């Protein structure tokens, strides 16, 4: 989500020190050379550390890189083919309930709830019985463009339109198979499901039943209707799907006087999505606890179509991009997550218990018990995980936290009190389980170093950070370690830019605003970009073209462009079949309008991808990528 709505991403007014504020002369010395040191160090010492990480002979990345994208088309390298699948509005395949998509957007709210949602995002392939030709795709539908979703857009605003908008959000589970040389949806399928903004979710962990989670409609504080603004995806070793509820604040109206808690979570007078006008639940003046029930990581078992999804509150509340699992040597789960908002934090959760054999059913409560930490990145390249544990340090009743439930519900305030490092919008994370390393995209932060805003620091070294980058860290000891060493993998940018902070240090093909990040089983780090329509094709991004996907060989540091998307789209999510011969990615919001809402009188103004029908609507869709020779993607 590269949204124009992002004024909320600046709600951290805490006084916790940016590294520059620390009056330690040694740190100041390091910081004076901060940017130069970051650039020089980005590949040097780390190359040695990761050489040999991927056991192989010959080049890791074997395709011929492509040029920057300029037109309304999706482009892949020579020898590859790409095809759209499961676009917005396709019926997911629930038996007896498969309403066809209407190109004039005249499907009802009830029909939309049985179809693919809008704005495809995180995605994961779940093979059926280990197959590389049949499986499930589980994916997020992050948000909607109400200009495209309804025949006349926002000309009128009705309860039916609110219900349709809610039905186009959430998560979809579909079954697909490779038949006759093409991947197609299997319909009907016993696995097909939609989770929308009105699907019941259970609450697990310390916030379950908490006073701050209780509402008039749910006096137990244990059942929430819906999930929305689901951004990135992660798969657990026990076979479930994790989805992050990201910019939930955009959906609530907090009136003229949001309280301090609401302000810290970016709630504003009115909602960007106009749900409160016809659904009182989203009126945070009348229902002040309803926003506390969003901003969680949700867990879904796609293999059991009767399973109840759960919000895992022990992982902390945040504008969660997503969550990704590493495993300690003794078999415990470590969930890494970040919060994509300006000057917010990176977290990890270490489970109390070990992952049990037996899949999802044997690990129903694994993510409900454990320890949550926030990251502090120090200027000397070390870092520390600070525990968000009630009763420790400032997180006491006297400090404003009644119990662990309040600590996780107010994870931002708790992290402010502990002194977590304010980051440049952490998006996806990727874990190298063997090497004990974690990677994280920091997409951009134009407010960094601006007047009255946090200064640059060692890990966020560029003022007016329009370009973003990828950081990496290695835990000291195992993944449950409380200290680590960090560095920059790459600072995105274009060497043709005049401003030093916008040049970057990319070795290979240039890019900006990294967001999606997926490490495949061969060791290729796939980087996807999400520059907003208002930033693209001009200024410091003028040479960078359409949003794209690149392959990074971490042993050489080279980044090579693999795919460019259609006009004004975001490229997001990547998942491969077990044999590596098919990759699925998502194209989100092709033709995104500068104000995030298309003109229904001219819906194809910027893009008509993938249907390319005259006067037609652009549609978010999954893209199936294969090699003509059937080989492994990227090799």
Instruction: Give 3's contacts (C-beta < 8 A, 6+ positions apart).
Output: 143, 247, 250, 532, 596
Among residues 72, 509, 530, 540, the one that binds Ca ion under rule CB under 5 A: 530
Is position 350 an interface residue for Ca ion (rule: CB under 5 A)? no
Nearest-angstrom CA–CA distance, 504 and 585: 26
**Between the CA of residue 513 and those of 427, 446, 488, 572, what are the distances in Å?**
10, 11, 15, 12
Residue 432 partner contact from ligand FEO, Ca ion, none using kind-dependent CB cut-offs of 5 to 8 Å: none
**Between the CA of residue 503 and those of 30, 87, 470, 540, what are the distances in Å?**
21, 36, 15, 9
The backbone torsions φ and ψ at residue 383, rounded to the nearest 5 degrees and listed phi first, read -155, 165
Is position 346 an interface residue for ligand FEO (rule: CB under 6 A)? no
Is position 245 an interface residue for ligand FEO (rule: CB under 6 A)? no
Which of 396/534 has CB closer to ligand FEO? Answer: 534
Residues between 398 and 457 that touch ligand FEO (CB under 6 A): 427
Is position 290 an interface residue for ligand FEO (rule: CB under 6 A)? no
User: CB of 512: closest distance to ligand FEO in angstroms?
Assistant: 15
Residues between 303 and 322 that touch ligand FEO (CB under 6 A): 321
Is position 144 an interface residue for ligand FEO (rule: CB under 6 A)? no
User: CB of 530: closest distance to Ca ion in angstroms?
Assistant: 4
Which of 6/111 has CB closer to ligand FEO? Answer: 6
Which of 215/229 has CB closer to ligand FEO? Answer: 229
Is position 515 an interface residue for Ca ion (rule: CB under 5 A)? yes
Q: Considering CB under 6 A, how many residues would be counted as binding ligand FEO?
A: 8
User: CB of 515: closest distance to ligand FEO in angstroms?
Assistant: 6
Radius of gyration over every alpha carbon of the chain, rounded to an integer in angstroms: 23
User: CB of 608: closest distance to Ca ion in angstroms?
Assistant: 23
User: CB of 593: closest distance to ligand FEO in angstroms?
Assistant: 17
User: CB of 18: closest distance to ligand FEO in angstroms?
Assistant: 22
Half-sphere CA count of 550, side-chain side, radius 13 A: 30
Among residues 2, 346, 459, 544, the one that binds Ca ion under rule CB under 5 A: 2
Q: Residue 514: beta bridge partners?
A: 529
Nearest-angstrom CA–CA distance, 111 and 254: 31
Among residues 90, 142, 457, 494, the one that binds ligand FEO under rule CB under 6 A: 142
Site string for Ca ion, 216-235 (x = CB under 5 A): ---------------x----
CB 85 within 8 A of CB 623: yes
Is position 231 an interface residue for ligand FEO (rule: CB under 6 A)? yes
Residues between 421 and 480 that touch Ca ion (CB under 5 A): 427
User: CB of 494: closest distance to Ca ion in angstroms?
Assistant: 19
Which of 76/300 has CB closer to ligand FEO? Answer: 300
- Name the residue with the smallest CB distance to ligand FEO: 1
The backbone torsions φ and ψ at residue 338, rounded to the nearest 5 degrees and listed phi first, read -135, 175
Nearest-angstrom CA–CA distance, 543 and 604: 24
Residue 437 partner contact from Ca ion, ligand FEO, none using kind-dependent CB cut-offs of 5 to 8 Å: none
Site string for ligand FEO, 484-523 (x = CB under 6 A): -------------------------------x--------
Residue 246 partner contact from Ca ion, ligand FEO, none using kind-dependent CB cut-offs of 5 to 8 Å: ligand FEO
Which of 167/231 has CB closer to Ca ion? Answer: 231
Nearest-angstrom CA–CA distance, 404 and 407: 5
Is position 283 an interface residue for ligand FEO (rule: CB under 6 A)? no
* Nearest CA among 354, 352, 309, 315 for reference residue 337: 315
Is position 178 an interface residue for Ca ion (rule: CB under 5 A)? no
Residue 111 partner contact from Ca ion, ligand FEO, none using kind-dependent CB cut-offs of 5 to 8 Å: none
CB 380 within 8 A of CB 30: yes
3-state DSSP of 241-306: EEEEECCHHHHCECCCCCCHHHHHCCCECCCCCCCCCCCHHHECCCCCCHHHHCCCEEEECCCCCC
Residues between 528 and 567 that touch ligand FEO (CB under 6 A): none
Is position 633 an interface residue for Ca ion (rule: CB under 5 A)? no
Is position 341 an interface residue for Ca ion (rule: CB under 5 A)? no
**Between the CA of residue 17 and those of 12, 119, 446, 457, 474, what are the distances in Å?**
12, 37, 19, 10, 23
DSSP string, 323-342: -EEEE-TTSEEEEEEEB-SE
The number of beta carbons lying within 10 Å of the beta carbon of residue 306 is 6
- Name the residue with the smallest CB distance to Ca ion: 530
Indicate the DSSP class of residue 477. Answer: S
Is position 246 an interface residue for ligand FEO (rule: CB under 6 A)? yes
CB 582 within 8 A of CB 534: no
Return the axis-axis angle of helices 34-41 and 25-32, rounded to nearest 10°.
70
**Between the CA of residue 375 and those of 52, 138, 362, 481, 615, what are the distances in Å?**
28, 30, 30, 12, 49
Residue ranges that bind ligand FEO, judged by CB under 6 A:
1, 142, 231, 246, 321, 340, 427, 515
């Amino acid at each position: 989500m590269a949204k124009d709505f992002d004024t909320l991403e600046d709600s951290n007014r805490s006084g916790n020190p940016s590294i520059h504020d620390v009056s330690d002369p040694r740190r100041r010395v390091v910081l004076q050379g901060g940017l130069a040191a970051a650039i020089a160090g980005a590949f040097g010492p780390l190359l040695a550390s990761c050489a040999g990480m991927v056991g192989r002979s010959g080049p890791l990345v074997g395709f011929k890189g492509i040029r920057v994208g300029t037109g309304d088309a999706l482009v892949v390298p020579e020898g590859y083919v790409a095809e759209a699948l499961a676009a917005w509005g396709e019926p997911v395949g629930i038996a007896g309930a498969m309403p066809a998509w209407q190109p004039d957007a005249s499907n009802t709210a009830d029909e939309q709830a049985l179809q693919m949602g809008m704005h495809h995002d995180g995605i994961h392939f779940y093979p059926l019985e280990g197959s590389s030709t049949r499986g499930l795709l589980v994916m997020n539908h992050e948000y909607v463009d109400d200009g495209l979703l309804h025949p006349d857009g926002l000309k009128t605003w009705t309860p039916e339109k609110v219900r349709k908008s809610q039905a186009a959000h959430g998560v979809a589970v579909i079954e697909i198979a490779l038949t006759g040389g093409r991947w197609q949806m299997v319909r009907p399928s016993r696995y097909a499901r939609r989770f929308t903004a009105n699907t019941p979710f259970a609450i697990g962990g310390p916030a379950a039943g908490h006073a701050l989670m209780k509402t008039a409609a749910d006096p137990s504080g244990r059942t929430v209707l819906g999930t929305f603004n689901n951004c990135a995806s992660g798969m657990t070793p026990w076979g479930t799907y994790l989805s992050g509820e990201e910019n939930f604040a955009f959906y609530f109206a907090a009136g003229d006087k949001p309280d301090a808690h609401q302000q810290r979570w970016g709630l504003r007078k009115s909602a960007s999505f106009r749900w409160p006008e016809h659904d009182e639940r989203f009126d945070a003046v009348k229902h002040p606890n309803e926003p506390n029930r969003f901003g969680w990581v949700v867990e879904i078992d796609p293999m059991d179509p009767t399973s109840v999804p759960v919000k895992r509150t022990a992982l902390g509340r945040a504008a969660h991009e997503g969550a990704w699992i590493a495993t300690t040597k003794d078999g415990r789960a470590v969930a890494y997550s970040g919060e994509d908002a300006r000057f917010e934090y990176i977290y990890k959760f270490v489970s109390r218990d070990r992952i049990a054999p037996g899949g999802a059913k044997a690990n129903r409560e694994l993510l409900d018990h454990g320890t949550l930490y926030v990251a502090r990145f120090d200027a000397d390249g070390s870092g520390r995980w600070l525990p968000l544990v009630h009763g420790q340090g400032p997180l006491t009743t006297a400090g404003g936290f009644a119990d662990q439930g309040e600590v996780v519900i107010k994870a931002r305030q708790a992290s402010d009190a502990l002194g977590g490092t304010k980051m440049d919008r952490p998006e996806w994370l990727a874990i190298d389980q063997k090497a004990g390393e974690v990677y994280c995209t920091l997409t951009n932060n134009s407010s960094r170093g601006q007047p009255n805003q946090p200064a640059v620091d060692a890990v966020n070294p560029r003022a007016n950070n329009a370009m973003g980058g990828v950081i990496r860290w290695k835990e000291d000891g195992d993944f449950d370690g409380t200290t680590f060493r960090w560095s920059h993998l790459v600072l995105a940018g274009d060497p043709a830019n005049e401003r030093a902070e916008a040049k970057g240090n990319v070795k290979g093909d240039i890019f900006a605003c990294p967001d999606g990040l997926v490490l495949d089983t061969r060791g290729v780090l796939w980087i996807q970009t999400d520059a907003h329509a208002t930033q693209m094709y001009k200024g410091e991004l003028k040479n960078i073209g359409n949003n794209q996907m690149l392959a990074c060989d971490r042993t050489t540091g080279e980044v090579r462009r693999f795919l460019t998307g259609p006009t004004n789209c975001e490229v997001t999510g990547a998942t491969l079949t077990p044999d590596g011969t098919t990759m699925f990615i998502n194209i989100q919001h092709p033709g995104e309008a500068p104000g995030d809402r298309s003109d229904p009188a001219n819906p194809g103004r910027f893009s008509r991808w993938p249907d390319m029908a005259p006067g037609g609507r652009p549609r978010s869709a999954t893209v199936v990528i294969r090699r003509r020779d059937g080989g492994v993607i990227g090799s």
